[in-house]
Amino acid sequence: MSKTYTLGFVGAGNMAEAIARGAIEKGVLSADAMVASDPSDARKQVFEEMGIKVVDSNAEVIAQSAQVMLAIKPQVLPELAGELAEHGGDDQVLISIMAGIGSAKLCDAVGKPARVIRVMPNTPMMVGLGMSGVAVGEHAQVGDEALTMKLFGAAGEVVQVDEKLMDAVTAVSGSGPAYVYYLAEAMEQAAGDMGLGEHARLFVSQTLLGAARMLVDSPDAAAELRRKVTSPGGTTAAAIEHMETNNVRQIVAEAVKAAEARGKELGA
pLDDT tens track for 170-193: 999 999 999 999 999 999 999 999
**What would the pLDDT profile of 52-110 be if each residue is shown by its tens digit?**
999 999 999 999 999 999 999 888 898 899 999 988 888 999 999 998 889 999 999 99
Q: Cβ contacts of residue 226 below 8 Å, gap of 6+?
A: 240
Q: Please give the domain boundaries of the chain with CATH numbers for all domains.
A: 5-163 (3.40.50.720), 176-267 (1.10.3730.10)
Q: Once rounded to an integer, what is the mean pLDDT over residues 2-22?
A: 92
The pLDDT tens digits of the residues spanning 101-146 come to 899 999 999 999 999 999 999 999 999 999 999 999 999 999 999 9
Phi-psi region of 32 (alpha: psi -120 to 50; beta: other; left: phi over 0): alpha
Helix axes 200-217, 222-229, angle to 10 degrees: 130
Please give the angle made by the CA atoms of 31, 35 and 41, to the nearest 5 degrees. 105
pLDDT at residue number 265: 84
Identity of the amino acid at 146 = A
- CA–CA gap between residue 142 and residue 139 (Å, rounded): 10
Mean pLDDT of 11-37: 95
